[in-house]
Structure 1
Amino acid sequence: MILKETIEKEFNNLSKGQQKAAMYLLDHPKDFAVKSAGEIGKRIGVSETTVIRFCYSIHLSGYSELQKMVREQLLQINSTLGQYFTSKVELAEKPHFFASVMEKDCLHIRETIQNIREEDFDQMVNRLIESNKVYVTGLRSSFSAASWLAFTLGLVRGNTKLIRPDTDDLLLTISDMDEGSTFIAISFDRYMKDTIKLAELAKKQGAFVIGITDSSIAPIKEHADLLFHIHSSEKSTIDAAPALFSFLNAVIAGVSIKDRDRFTKRREQYEKLDINHFFIQPGGKMD
């Protein structure tokens, strides 16, 4: 039994008090490892009984078993880099290392396919086609994916902006959003507060918010009209990157095919540009 996956699977079946316990557990596993059920209850504003019933709801025998699993699964490795390295050491002990790593990537893509409903994907594509402007943000490990998505959407449909809190005037950017805007937040553990706050503000402006994350109960869920869970059986979020980029590529493909007329116009405009000053052909020389 994998504790985090079980909590995600059962989350919607929990009472509101039990959901508070679940969220607190994922955010503060060390507290559960050392504090009693009564102390946890006081900390989050629920009864000790609610905390214990939470244990039963995720198919555990009681609070003691929950503490044992927390210590074994959530506290063993406390950094993404540590998790990533440990999983790769195991693969390095077997032959065909690079093939094994890539096979794991294929597995994560297949797992992600199972997590995504086709109607949700279609709704996202339609929304991106219909939106006046699309905003994309993602920080730290999510930045490269956010940058790629913003750049590629800009190519195929235009009117797409990558939001960078370190350089952009956020108040001006948010104030430009309205009901015709779509805001895409890519948010992976460890979840950045800036990303969540931007999603909250975009929602208040009337924008349609799409969350792309690594957990069905990630913090971005609270503000998302659509939520996509990129799955990885590994504990490291680095290992989710291939599945994340594969999903984003599918989104770009969907927008290109479904909005074929606009894509064709964009391509024609792009091909008319005199790009000789910017690129050289393979084997060519700079002027």
Structure 2
Amino acid sequence: MQDLLRNVSSSYKNFSSGQKKIGDLFFKEPIFLAFSSALEVGKRVNVSESTVIRWSQKLGYRGYAEFQHVLQRKLAEERFEQVEESDAQPAVEQSFLANLLDADIASITQLKQSMDEDQLLQAVDHIGQAKNIYVTGNFFDFGLAHFMTSWLNLTLDHAELLMHGDGQYYRQLSALTAEDTVIAFVFPRYTKSVIDTLATAKKQGAKVVLITDSAVSPAADYADISLEVLVNSNLNIDSYTAVHALIASIMRFVYVKEHSKVKRNLAKVEAIYMEKEVFI
């Protein structure tokens, strides 16, 4: 990325007034140029599409598309960790998609290296022993919470989604006891509502299994068990790939530990599937 910045800087004095506007936008918001058309860039700084194309040509590229491809690759090199493989091509030759996928692979690799299996097993024990299981999270984490609740309810048949704003929320809070376990997904951006939910859960005596991004997460103070997993947030798009890998691991451990119960419940559902001819 530095060589591209130097190229634009050294060429800046030769830009027209309109091209300097594009250069200024590049220094300020390179991501906008990386993912916007020449027409959109021109509209952003009040110049023509052809001015944007000529600007990229003045930098030595055949056209804006070639410049944009290079910029995307440079941003990927700068923002994403590379996974070392003996037969991998040099990072500079990888596509932008390859870098995105490598970032997700790197986050799973980090999870593999950092996860405390004893902590995970304790979390599974809390889930298996709970009279009732409640799953909560920030509203950004609703999909994670809903997915895990659905699977736990399918296999253990006593899980509920506990989300602020739901009509059952306060009834569920009031019903929490020391026999229950709350599973909480708490990733940035942290919300006051989920912290308040966990504070109430602890006050009611419930066990809290926290799945979060950091030991300094504001939810950590309320956790009996804390499982930390990286969320890749490059380019302002959160990737929960490693979180899904952790969820799958928990589910598999639950399946093994509570095998008889899980097998029995799945068999009941499978019987209904067949009776209703659900699947083709």
* TM-score, normalised with respect to structure 1: 0.63
Deviation at 1:249, TM superposition (A): 0.7
| SS of residue paired to 1:183 | strand
| SS of residue paired to 2:178 | coil
Aligned equivalent of 1:8? none
Aligned equivalent of 2:187? 188
2:89 is aligned with 1:90? no
- Distance (Å, rounded) in 1 between the aligned partners of 2:257 and 2:228: 23
- Distance (Å, rounded) in 1 between the aligned partners of 2:93 and 2:195: 41
2:231 is aligned with 1:246? no
- Distance (Å, rounded) in 2 between the aligned partners of 1:216 and 1:256: 28
- Distance (Å, rounded) in 2 between the aligned partners of 1:146 and 1:264: 23
Aligned equivalent of 2:197? 198
The structure, 1 or 2, with the larger RCO (C-alpha pairs under 8 Å, 6+ apart) is 1
Structure 2, unmatched stretches of 5+, are 1-27, 36-70, 78-91
- Give the 5 Å matches for 1:135-146: 135-146=134-145
Aligned equivalent of 1:271? 270
Q: Contact 2:231/2:240 (CA < 8 Å) preserved in 1?
A: no
Aligned equivalent of 1:176? 175
Q: Contact 1:188/1:237 (CA < 8 Å) preserved in 2?
A: no
Aligned equivalent of 1:13? none
Aligned equivalent of 2:208? 209
- Distance (Å, rounded) in 1 between the aligned partners of 2:222 and 2:201: 9
Amino acid at match of 2:184: A
- Distance (Å, rounded) in 2 between the aligned partners of 1:162 and 1:91: 37
Deviation at 1:276, TM superposition (A): 6.5
Aligned equivalent of 1:117? 116
- Distance (Å, rounded) in 2 between the aligned partners of 1:232 and 1:241: 6
Structure 1 residues 197, 257: closer, same or farther in 2, change over 3 A?
A: same
Deviation at 1:130, TM superposition (A): 0.8
Aligned equivalent of 1:166? 165
Structure 1 residues 191, 173: closer, same or farther in 2, change over 3 A?
A: same
Q: Contact 1:115/1:231 (CA < 8 Å) preserved in 2?
A: no
Amino acid at match of 1:268: A
Structure 1, unmatched stretches of 5+, are 1-75, 282-287
- Distance (Å, rounded) in 2 between the aligned partners of 1:234 and 1:136: 23
- Distance (Å, rounded) in 2 between the aligned partners of 1:255 and 1:237: 33
Structure 1 residues 126, 99: closer, same or farther in 2, change over 3 A?
A: same
- Distance (Å, rounded) in 2 between the aligned partners of 1:248 and 1:166: 25
Aligned equivalent of 1:153? 152
- Distance (Å, rounded) in 2 between the aligned partners of 1:265 and 1:244: 28
Aligned equivalent of 1:5? none
Q: Contact 1:111/1:232 (CA < 8 Å) preserved in 2?
A: no
Deviation at 1:100, TM superposition (A): 2.4
The superposition leaves residues 200-240 of structure 1 with CA deviations (integer Å, 9 ceiling, x where unpaired) of 10111110011111111010011111111112465578444
* TM-score, normalised with respect to structure 2: 0.64
Structure 1 residues 190, 234: closer, same or farther in 2, change over 3 A?
A: closer
2:106 is aligned with 1:99? no
Amino acid at match of 1:142: D
Deviation at 1:95, TM superposition (A): 3.5
